[in-house]
Structure 1
Amino acid sequence: MNHHGDPNVEAVVPTEGLVAALTFIDNVGFHGIATSLTGTAPLVERSWPVLIRNARTAVAVIGWPDELQTLAKRFAAAAGRLAAALDQPDVRATGEPAQELHLAYHALSDAGWAYLARAAGIPEEGRNPHQHDHATPPPAH
C-alpha cells in the first residue's frame, strides 16, 4: 500500500499510527528534560516520569517500518532507562540516560518524519527540524 508518493516507500503500517507516535514524542520536551537533568542543579518535574513512560509505550506499540525499527527499539530502551533512573533517589544519575534518550528521540523523530515525507512524495529539505545544536555535549557532572 503506497500513499501517493515515492513508489519505493512501502506503507507497511498505517501512517496515522506513525504520525500519532511521532507527534506525541515531539511534544514531550526531551531537549528541556535533558538540559535540566544534565545542568548544574538537576531538577525533576513531576510530569516527566509519566510522559516518558507514555512516550515509550507510544513508540513500542507501533509496528515501525523495517528501516525505523532499530531506532524505535533504541528509543524505547533509552526511555526505559531514564524512567528507571527517575525512580531512584539520586537525581544526578538521570543525566546520562536523559542525554541518551534525547539523542535517540532526535534520531527516531527525524528519520520517522523523513520516512513519512518520502511516502507522501515530499522532497527532503535537508535541515535540522529541532533547531538546536548537538555538536557540543553538555558539561560532565
Structure 2
Amino acid sequence: MTQHNTPDVETAAAVAGMLAALAHIDGAGFHGIDAALRKESPIIDEFWSSRSRAAQIAAASIPWPEELEQQAKSLGDAAGRLATALGGGDAKIAATRAREAHVAWHTLNTPAWNYLAKTVDLEVEGEATRDHHHH
C-alpha cells in the first residue's frame, strides 16, 4: 500500500469540514431531482426540500479554499432557491431551480474532490473522482 501525505492538524480539520460538507451536498441528489422534475408529469418528493436545504447549509458552514469559494456560494444559493421552490409545490418552477442546482453541484463537486485528493498527495486520475452518470 502506498503511503500518502498526512496533513497537519489544521489541514486535517479543513479536510474533515470539506468531507462533511461534500457528503451532505452529494447526498442531496441534485441529479435525481433534476431528472425527476423533467419528466412529463413530475411529482415533488417530500424529502427533496429538506435535502436541498441541508446542502445549502453545508455549503455555507465551512470556509472553502479560495479557489472553491465562488462555486460553493453558487451551489448554496442554488440549493436554497431549489428548497424554496420545492416547498412551494410548483413542479415547473422547481424544475428550473433543480437544473440550476444540478449544474452548480457539478461546478463544485469535481474541483472539490480533486482539491482534497491533492491535499493528501493523491494523484487526480482521469475520471476517478468524477461523478458517474449520464444526462
The TM-score range, normalised by the shorter chain, is 0.7 to 0.9
Q: Does 2:121 correspond to 1:121?
A: yes
* Cα distance in structure 1, aligned partners of 2:6 and 2:115: 11
* Moved >6 Å (runs of 4+): none
Q: What are the within-5 Å matches in structure 2 for residues 10-49 of structure 1?
A: 11=11, 14-49=14-49
What is the one-letter code of the residue matched to 1:132?
H
Query: Highest relative contact order (Cα 8 Å, sep 6+), 1 or 2?
Result: 1
The answer for the alignment partner of 1:139 in structure 2 is none
The number of aligned residues is 129
Q: What are the within-5 Å matches in structure 2 for residues 30-109 of structure 1?
A: 30-109=30-109
Q: Does 2:132 correspond to 1:131?
A: yes
* Cα distance in structure 2, aligned partners of 1:113 and 1:120: 11
- Percent identity among equivalent residues? 39
What is the one-letter code of the residue matched to 1:133?
H
Contact 1:34 1:95 in 2 (8 A): yes
* Cα distance in structure 2, aligned partners of 1:5 and 1:121: 8
Could you say which structure has the higher helix fraction? Answer: 2
- Secondary structure of the 2:44 match is coil
Runs (5+) with no aligned partner, structure 1 = 135-141
Contact 1:5 1:118 in 2 (8 A): no
The alignment's C-alpha RMSD in Å is 2.2
| Cα offset, 1:4, TM superposition | 2.5
The answer for the alignment partner of 1:111 in structure 2 is 111
What TM-score results when the alignment is normalised by the length of structure 2? 0.86
* Cα distance in structure 1, aligned partners of 2:87 and 2:29: 19
